[in-house]
Amino acid sequence: MIERLLIANRGEIAVRIARGARELGIAPLGVYSEADRGSMHLEFMADSACIGPPAVTSSYLNMCAILEAAQALRADAIHPGYGFLSERSEFARAVVDA
């Protein structure tokens, strides 16, 4: 059973996923870049972790940073959100292998 869900996205998409997770009794976990430290989506998370510098390629597209955040936050599962890593099959493989 999933108890802690890492949402590997930001903004409205992350908020919607977090709300849905809470309705199911799942603790939503967020990630953010250094530039997004005060972003609204983090208010909807049970916990969160910084995944790197402002550049998207160094944070939200950084598979290693997302996986490290998932481990640090003790996530049971990862929801990639929309865009970013959700369209990359190698990310799905990396999650399974982790």
Which domains are delineated in the chain?
4-97 (3.40.50.20)
pLDDT score of 32: 97
Where does the pLDDT of residue 83 fall: very low under 50, low under 70, confident under 90, or very high at 90 and above?
Answer: confident
pLDDT score of 17: 98
How far is the C-alpha of 17 from the C-alpha of 93, rounded, in Å? 22
Helix, coil or strand: residue 3: coil
